[in-house]
Structure 1
Amino acid sequence: MEEQLEIAILAGANDQEIEELLLHNIIGVEENNAIQPVEFNLNNMSDDEVKANFRFQREDIIRLRNALRIPQRVISNTRNNVDGTLALCMLLRRLSYPNRLVDLANFFNYSSQSLSHIISTMANFIVENHGHLLENLNAHQWLNRNRYQLYAQSIVNMGGAIQNCWGFIDGTVRPICRPSNNQDEYYSGHKRLHCVKYQSVLTPDGLIVNLKGAFPGRRHDAGIFRETNLYEELEPNVLFPNGEHYVLYGDQAYGVRRLLLSPYPGQPANLLPHQIVFNNTMKVLRVSVEWGFQKIISQFAFVDFKKNQKLLLNDIETFYKSAVILTNCHTCLYGSQTAKYFNVMPPILEEYIV
């Protein structure tokens, strides 16, 4: 318990969080002792309540559970044994808002300590079993030549200047609490805050098909790109025997290669007219990347709440990646702003998760 208390203090825990830790480990008091456990039942909630609390419709929560292959019973490392649908709902509810665990204890009639273990178990399960959907382009069986052609045509239809562009690459910054250790490593001078960074590839149907990270906030996008070896990962996927190939588009930090393009460098006054047109048309389309990042934090606001992002207390990378996977699932079921803009339907849920 002393080790847990030391970690909490180093991570910047507030008085309430330290008090809850002491109650659980010394006194053994849990906030909801007076509440009689009641079996959780989605049918006791209205359709609007289900969507507001869990971001998915009632019938789609069951479909999501089956697609993610969540077992009938979920057992945490502290031997909490709960129904798989309930465990999924706990994670979805935790991610949907920057809730306190004590508030969720009243919602689910479980102690905050048990909720913490169950939610962490579910986030780990999703990343361990489906994290390959973010880590490796080869994991997407549906991402084939026909799909690349569809993506490229949708970008051209919206005025894109590149005939064979299939997606956009960019980095995103996620603010965190100021860490007790290695503060300089996580401080971004550009954003002027402590943060971690992720590199992602977003397609015109609104899916984040690749996500690398988390990296310390001081790292530059170009260095992260080199370290991830994403370019080497692209070559066997977007190069075809007849010479046909497809490219990603990003900002100037990523440079220009055969499979990766970026804007012409320099001020507009120093560029040729066709270069200015190229930069302007692709700049407008690249905004869709920001829509993808925005959907994650709008649907699952917990990962955007800085006070909850503590390196020593929470596995912030696992929670963010599980939120990205769940956001992709949400896009498969309900679409997204990006998909509507480019008029491209994402794959069905069961096709995305294999």
Structure 2
Amino acid sequence: MQRTMQAPNGMNNQGTKASGLEVLCICLRRLAYPCRFADLSQMFHRPKPELCVLFKVGIDFIYDQFSDKLTNLNQPWLTVPQLERYCAAIHAKGAPLEFCWGMVDGTIRSMCRPGHLQQEVYGHKRVHSLKFQCVVTPNGLVANVFGPLVGRRHDAALLNGCGILEHMQQHMVTPAGDEMYLYGDRAYPLTPNLMRPYRGQITEEQQAFNTEMSRARNSVEWEFSKIVRLWAFLDFKKNLKLFLSPVGKLYLVGVLLSNCHTCLHGSETSQFFGLNPPTLEEYLY
């Protein structure tokens, strides 16, 4: 972060100044556990209006500087040689698929009932929510996030809108010409770049396939759990108010910070597949 950050004019007569480290600490503390700015005021010795401004400045800065890590698949740790390592790690854990480099799934993030568009954000799980689609690699990182969309949209709608399959067709092919693919749950369609479990009346072999792939697909659920475990504020729906706070941006920043935590300390996914994530410097820069 920049050493000094200037808050927007008009919050007070002289503006609000703080070091980048202090702004980052405010953001981390606010996201780590549901708390009021009055509680943070005693910790950081700043009035509530200043803390509110600095929190927004910090969230905006992190998102503006690093959100491409969640949307741009042209990353040094997503090159074809790296993807081949991911495929080998997943296959080595018993997964029948040989060229699966990651797991894809949608996640619903509950929020407070909004004053507008209530029917649009009311999903099939009977909560008001926003929906994201995440791709998790076996080194424990969330490689791609698409969203937010309103909570009532189907997972297939997120898949059609993200454009990841088109990117994979062009750039994620082994030197031998084999196309790589993702693995999702039954909600997704079957395509050359996306595999899913067998459905309907299936044989014992097909059931065995589903079972083995399900063990590997649990990694995406582990990462969803880690995000809200590290940043409990994102799981406190009473304080996530659409049109009053950047609910979608807060979750995306939480994903970024979780990836940074994985780079420093690893994760359950990276330990399960035996792959180390990139260093923090390699991930961010």
Q: TM class, shorter-chain normalised?
A: over 0.9
Say whether 1:335 aligns with 2:266.
Answer: yes
For the 8 Å contact 1:154–1:342, the answer to whether it is kept is yes
Aligned length: 280
TM-score by length of 2: 0.95
**Counterpart in 2 of 1:151?**
86
| Candidates 111, 115, 118, aligned match of 1:183 | 118
Kindly provide the CA deviation profile for residues 123-159 of structure 1, in whole angstroms up to 9, marking residues without a partner as x. Answer: 1111111101111211x12211221111111111111
Supply the AA of the counterpart residue of 2:56: S
Rounded Cα–Cα distance in structure 2 between residues aligned with 1:244 and 1:231? 15
Higher helix share: 1
**Counterpart in 1 of 2:221?**
290
**What is the SS of the residue equivalent to 1:187?**
coil
Structure 1 runs, 4 residues or longer, greater than 3 Å off: none
| Candidates 142, 153, 164, aligned match of 2:99 | 164
Supply the AA of the counterpart residue of 1:110: R
**Counterpart in 1 of 2:151?**
217
Say whether 1:227 aligns with 2:161.
Answer: yes
For the 8 Å contact 2:169–2:179, the answer to whether it is kept is no
CA shift for structure 1 position 240: 4.2
CA shift for structure 1 position 120: 0.7
Pairs within 5 Å for 1:261-340: 261-266=195-200, 270-340=201-271
Please, which moves more after superposition, 140-149 or 284-293?
A: 140-149
* Residue ranges of structure 2 left out of the alignment (5+ in a row): 10-14
Identity of aligned pairs, percent? 39
Kindly provide the CA deviation profile for residues 52-85 of structure 1, in whole angstroms up to 9, marking residues without a partner as x. Answer: xxxxxxxxxxxxxxxxxx1111122243110111
Kindly provide the CA deviation profile for residues 320-352 of structure 1, in whole angstroms up to 9, marking residues without a partner as x. Answer: 111110110000000001111111100011111
TM-score by length of 1: 0.77
For the 8 Å contact 1:296–1:327, the answer to whether it is kept is yes
* Residue ranges of structure 1 left out of the alignment (5+ in a row): 1-69
- What value does the CA root-mean-square deviation take over the aligned residues? 1.1
Supply the AA of the counterpart residue of 1:272: T
**Counterpart in 1 of 2:281?**
350
Kindly provide the CA deviation profile for residues 261-309 of structure 1, in whole angstroms up to 9, marking residues without a partner as x. Answer: 011111xxx2122211111111121111110001100011111111111
| Candidates 260, 265, 270, aligned match of 2:194 | 260
Rg larger in structure: 1
Kindly provide the CA deviation profile for residues 187-225 of structure 1, in whole angstroms up to 9, marking residues without a partner as x. Answer: 012x11111100000011110010011110110111121
Rounded Cα–Cα distance in structure 2 between residues aligned with 1:241 and 1:339? 26
Rounded Cα–Cα distance in structure 2 between residues aligned with 1:232 and 1:106? 51
